[in-house]
C-alpha cells in the first residue's frame, strides 16, 4: 500500500492547487503514505494538527496513549509487527523529550518510525518560550534523520522525504518538528508525491559481484561453516531467500534475538540463540567453525563476548546493507555489501549444494548436553515453585508457536527469547539493542494494531511492567486485545542475578514491591488473575488466550532463579557457563 499510492496521484504541476493548512497537508500526506494508525498525545504546540485530525477521524485511527514514551513504543511495536512505518505524534517540550528513549530504541534496533512533534511559533524559537526545547539537537544522535519545518509549504516535500528515509535501506526513526505557525499557515497544496530518491542518500550500497564470488568460494571450501543471522533478514523481507540459502548450503545457523522468527524455530538447521544467554552449542562452536557467515547482524557485544577471543580461527563473511557495520566490531575476510534480499540469491546461485551432517550433529550434541544439564529442569520442573521457562513452554503448547510474543527487558526476556516457539516471521518483538524496560506493554498494543488477526502476548517482568503501567489506560480506551503475561519473581531479576554471581549476593535495591496487578487491571476494566500453583498454570493460560478481550495473567515464579547458560561479561563465547 505504501508504494502503490503514488499511482493515484497526478504530478503536482498537473494538479490544481487547493488551499490547505499545514496541518491538513500533513494529514493528507500521511494518508497517501498509507498510514492508518497514529499513536499520540496532544498538547498546546501540536493543537492545530489535532484540530485537523478531528476532520480525518474516519481515515486516520488515532490511539490516545497515556505517555509519549508509551506512544513511541507502540509505534515501534506497530512497525515491527506490520513491516510498515510507525507514526507518532507528540507536542513540544516535555512531549518531545518523552520520545527520546523510544527514538534511541528504534535507532539501535533499526525500526522505521516517523515522529511528528509540535513546536512553538517560529518567531519564539530560541527564546525559552513555554514548552520550547531544542528537539532537533536533542534527537540528532538518536534519529536517522530529523528536520524542523517552520513554513507550511515545506510540509509535503519533507514528509515524503521522512517516510522514504525511515523505511528505505537500513530503516530507522525520523523526527519532524513543526512549528505552530507552520501548522496553522494556509498555502496552495499542489498534491503530494512520495519520495524515491534523495541526492545525498543512498539507502543500498552497490552490489559488487566480485565479493559475492569470493564469498561463494570461501563457503564452498569450508569444512565447518556457520551462519549467524540477525534482524536484517526480517527487515529486508528476505525470509524466503534465506531459507533457500540454508537449504542449498546445508549450513547450521544461529540467531540473534532480533533475528529470531525469520525461519521457524523447528527448522532442522536452526541451532539456536547466540550470545550472553544464548545456547551452548552455537556459542562454543563459534570458536571452532572455519567460516562464519554473518547475515544482517551487527556483532553486538552481547553476541560476541570478548572480541579478542571471538572466532579468531574463522574467515568471516559479512552480508550487510549498512557499510558502516562492516569491520566495525569484527574484521571481515569478505564483505558483501547490499540488501540481503538481493545478495542472498546471488550467493545461493554460486554455492555448491552440500550437507554438513557431521558438523550439524556437533551442534545437536551440545544441544543434548544443554537439555540434560539445564533445559529439562527449566521447562519441566516437577517440584518447587514455577519457573519462567515452564510458563513459556506451556504458552508455546497453547499458541502452537503462532502468537506474536512481545518481551520487556530482563530475565523473562532472555527466557522468552530462548524458549518461545515461532512459526512466522515478525513474531518476536523485543527491545534488543537499547534494553528498554517498560517497552513491552505499549509495544504489544502497537503490535496488535499492526497485526490485528494475530494473538499478541506481552511477556513482562514485574519491574518493567511498572515502568509503563499507565498504558493499561490505552488498552481500556482503545479496546485493543492484548494478553499480558507478568512473570513475577518479586525482584529486578537480571540485576539480582548479576549481584548473586558477581557481587557476592549484595542485593542492592533489586527487591521490588508490586501492587496487586490484578486489582490494578480491574481498575482499568481489564480482566485478570494470579496463578501461584503449577496445577492452575495451563488452565489459566487457556483462560487468558480465550478471553475475548485483553487479559492480565500474573504468574508467581521462583524468586531466585537464574538464566543460564551465560557468557559472563568479559569472557569469550566459548567460556559459556551452563551453571
Name 241's bridge partners: none
Of 15, 130, 221, 533, which is the active-site residue? 130
Q: Is there binding between residue 312 and other proteins (CB under 8 A)?
A: no
Q: Are 344 and 296 in contact (CB under 8 A)?
A: no
* Site pattern 396..435 for other proteins (x: CB under 8 A): ----------------------------------------
Residue with cell 490511539: 63
Residue from 12, 34, 264, 323 touching other proteins (CB under 8 A): that is: 323
What is the torsion angle, in degrees rounded to the nearest 10, for the CA atoms of residue 501, residue 505, residue 509 and residue 515?
Answer: 90
Q: Is there binding between residue 506 and other proteins (CB under 8 A)?
A: no
Residue from 324, 353, 357, 358 touching other proteins (CB under 8 A): that is: 324
Please confirm, yes or no, whether 494 is among the known catalytic residues: yes
Q: Are 228 and 297 in contact (CB under 8 A)?
A: yes
Please confirm, yes or no, whether 579 is among the known catalytic residues: no
Dist CA 262 CA 340 (whole Å): 13
What residues between 462 and 481 interact with other proteins by CB under 8 A?
Answer: none
3-class SS of residue 320: strand
CA 49 centroid distance within chain: 28
Q: Are 197 and 209 in contact (CB under 8 A)?
A: no
Grid cell listed for 519: 486489582
User: Using CB under 8 A, which of the segments 14-22, 111-119, 137-145, 359-367 binds other proteins?
Assistant: 137-145
User: Using CB under 8 A, which of the segments 222-230, 272-280, 318-326, 466-474 binds other proteins?
Assistant: 318-326
Please tell me the chain's helix, strand, coil percentages from 3-state DSSP, rounded to the nearest 5. Answer: 45, 20, 40
Q: Is there binding between residue 210 and other proteins (CB under 8 A)?
A: no
Distance set, CA 320 to CA 230, 429, 522 (Å): 10, 21, 47
Q: Is there binding between residue 144 and other proteins (CB under 8 A)?
A: yes
Q: Could you tell me whether strands 225-229 and 86-90 are parallel, antiparallel, or unpaired per DSSP bridges?
A: unpaired
Q: Are 443 and 468 in contact (CB under 8 A)?
A: no
- Total Cβ atoms within 10 A of residue 358: 9
Q: Which is nearer to other proteins, 160 or 429 (CB)?
A: 160
- Total Cβ atoms within 10 A of residue 357: 9
Q: How many residues bind other proteins (CB under 8 A)?
A: 24
Please confirm, yes or no, whether 241 is among the known catalytic residues: no
Residue from 10, 15, 127, 140 touching other proteins (CB under 8 A): that is: 140
Residue from 165, 212, 334, 437 touching other proteins (CB under 8 A): that is: 165
Q: How far is the CB of 241 from other proteins (least distance, A)?
A: 22
* Site pattern 326..355 for other proteins (x: CB under 8 A): xxx--------x------------------
Q: Is there binding between residue 136 and other proteins (CB under 8 A)?
A: yes
Distance set, CA 141 to CA 94, 105, 174, 297, 389 (Å): 18, 12, 11, 21, 37
Dist CA 431 CA 442 (whole Å): 12
Grid cell listed for 34: 498509507
Dist CA 556 CA 561 (whole Å): 12
Of 144, 161, 180, 421, which is the active-site residue? 180
Of 258, 273, 494, 566, which is the active-site residue? 494
Q: Is there binding between residue 190 and other proteins (CB under 8 A)?
A: no
User: Using CB under 8 A, which of the segments 74-82, 195-203, 286-294, 303-311 binds other proteins?
Assistant: 195-203
Please confirm, yes or no, whether 57 is among the known catalytic residues: no
Q: How far is the CB of 38 from other proteins (least distance, A)?
A: 24
Q: Is there binding between residue 301 and other proteins (CB under 8 A)?
A: no
User: Using CB under 8 A, which of the segments 18-26, 82-90, 198-206, 300-308 binds other proteins?
Assistant: 198-206
Q: Is there binding between residue 145 and other proteins (CB under 8 A)?
A: yes
Grid cell listed for 573: 563465547
Q: How far is the CB of 291 from other proteins (least distance, A)?
A: 23
Dist CA 446 CA 135 (whole Å): 24
Please confirm, yes or no, whether 471 is among the known catalytic residues: no
ω into 565 cis (within 30 of 0): yes
Q: How far is the CB of 211 from other proteins (least distance, A)?
A: 12
Q: Is there binding between residue 198 and other proteins (CB under 8 A)?
A: yes
Of 6, 131, 214, 477, which is the active-site residue? 131
Of 68, 132, 471, 554, which is the active-site residue? 68
Q: How far is the CB of 35 from other proteins (least distance, A)?
A: 21
382 Cβ contact partners less than 8 Å away, ≥ 6 residues apart = none
For the annotated catalytic residues, the residue numbers are: 68, 130-131, 180, 494
Residue ranges that bind other proteins, judged by CB under 8 A? 136-137, 140-141, 144-147, 165, 197-202, 205-206, 322-324, 326-328, 337
Amino acid at each position: 500500500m505504501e508504494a502503490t499510492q503514488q499511482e493515484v496521484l497526478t504530478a503536482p504541476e498537473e494538479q490544481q492547487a487547493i488551499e490547505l493548512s499545514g496541518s491538513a497537508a500533513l494529514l493528507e500526506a500521511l494518508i497517501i503514505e498509507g498510514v492508518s494508525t497514529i499513536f499520540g498525545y496532544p498538547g498546546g504546540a501540536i493543537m492545530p494538527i489535532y484540530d485537523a485530525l478531528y476532520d480525518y477521524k474516519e481515515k486516520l485511527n488515532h490511539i490516545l496513549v497515556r505517555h509519549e514514551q508509551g506512544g513511541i513504543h507502540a509505534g515501534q511495536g506497530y512497525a515491527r509487527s506490520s513491516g510498515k512505518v510507525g507514526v507518532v505524534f507528540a507536542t513540544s517540550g516535555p512531549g518531545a523529550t518523552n520520545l527520546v528513549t523510544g527514538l534511541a530504541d528504534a535507532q539501535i534496533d533499526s525500526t522505521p518510525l516517523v515522529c511528528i512533534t509540535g513546536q512553538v511559533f517560529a518567531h519564539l524559537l530560541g527564546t525559552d518560550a513555554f514548552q520550547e526545547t531544542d528537539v532537533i539537537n536533542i534527537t540528532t544522535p538518536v534519529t536517522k534523520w530529523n528536520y524542523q519545518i517552520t513554513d507550511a509549504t515545506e510540509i509535503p516535500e519533507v514528509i515524503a522525504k521522512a517516510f522514504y528515509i525511515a523505511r528505505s535501506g537500513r530503516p530507522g526513526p525520523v523526527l519532524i518538528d513543526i512549528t505552530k505557525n507552520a501548522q496553522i499557515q494556509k498555502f496552495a497544496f499542489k498534491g503530494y508525491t512520495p519520495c524515491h530518491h534523495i541526492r545525498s542518500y543512498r539507502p543500498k550500497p552497490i552490489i559488487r559481484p566480485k565479493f559475492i564470488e569470493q564469498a561463494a568460494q570461501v563457503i564452498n571450501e569450508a569444512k565447518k561453516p556457520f551462519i549467524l543471522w540477525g534482524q536484517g533478514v526480517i527487515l529486508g523481507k528476505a525470509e524466503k531467500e534465506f531459507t533457500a540459502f540454508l537449504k542449498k548450503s546445508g549450513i547450521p545457523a544461529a540467531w540473534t534475538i532480533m533475528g529470531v522468527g525469520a525461519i521457524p524455530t523447528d527448522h532442522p538447521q536452526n541451532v539456536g540463540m547466540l550470545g550472553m544467554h544464548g545456547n551452548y552449542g552455537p556459542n562454543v562452536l563459534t570458536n571452532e567453525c572455519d567460516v562464519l557467515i554473518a547475515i544482517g547482524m551487527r556483532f553486538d557485544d552481547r553476541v560476541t563476548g570478548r572480541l579478542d577471543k571471538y572466532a579468531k580461527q574463522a574467515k568471516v563473511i559479512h552480508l550487510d546493507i549498512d557499510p558502516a557495520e562492516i569491520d566495525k566490531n569484527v574484521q571481515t575476510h569478505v564483505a558483501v555489501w547490499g540488501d540481503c534480499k538481493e545478495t542472498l540469491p546471488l550467493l545461493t546461485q554460486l554455492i555448491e549444494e552440500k550437507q554438513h551432517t557431521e558438523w550439524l550433529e556437533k551442534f545437536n550434541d551440545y544441544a543434548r548436553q544443554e537439555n540434560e544439564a539445564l533445559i529439562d529442569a527449566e521447562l519441566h520442573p516437577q517440584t518447587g515453585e514455577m519457573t519462567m521457562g515452564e510458563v513459556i513452554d506451556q504458552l508455546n503448547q497453547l499458541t502452537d508457536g503462532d502468537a506474536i510474543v512481545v518481551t520487556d527487558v530482563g530475565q523473562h526476556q532472555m527466557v522468552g527469547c530462548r524458549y518461545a516457539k515461532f512459526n512466522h516471521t515478525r513474531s518476536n518483538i523485543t527491545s534488543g539493542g537499547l534494553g528498554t524496560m517498560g517497552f513491552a506493554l505499549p509495544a504489544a498494543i502497537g503490535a496488535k494494531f499492526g497485526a490485528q488477526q494475530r494473538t499478541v502476548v506481552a511477556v513482562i517482568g514485574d519491574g518493567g511492567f511498572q515502568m509503563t503501567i499507565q498504558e493499561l489506560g490505552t488498552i481500556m480506551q482503545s479496546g485493543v486485545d492484548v494478553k499480558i503475561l507478568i512473570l513475577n519473581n518479586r525482584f529486578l531479576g537480571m540485576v539480582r542475578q548479576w549481584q548473586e554471581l558477581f557481587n557476592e549476593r549484595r542485593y542492592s535495591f533489586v527487591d521490588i514491591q508490586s501492587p496487586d496487578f490484578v486489582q490494578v487491571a480491574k481498575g482499568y476494566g481489564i480482566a485478570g488473575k494470579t496463578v501461584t500453583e503449577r496445577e492452575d498454570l495451563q488452565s489459566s493460560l487457556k483462560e487468558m488466550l480465550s478471553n475475548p478481550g485483553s487479559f492480565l495473567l500474573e504468574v508467581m515464579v521462583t524468586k531466585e532463579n537464574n538464566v543460564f547458560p551465560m557468557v559472563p561479561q568479559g569472557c569469550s563465547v566459548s567460556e559459556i557457563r551452563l551453571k
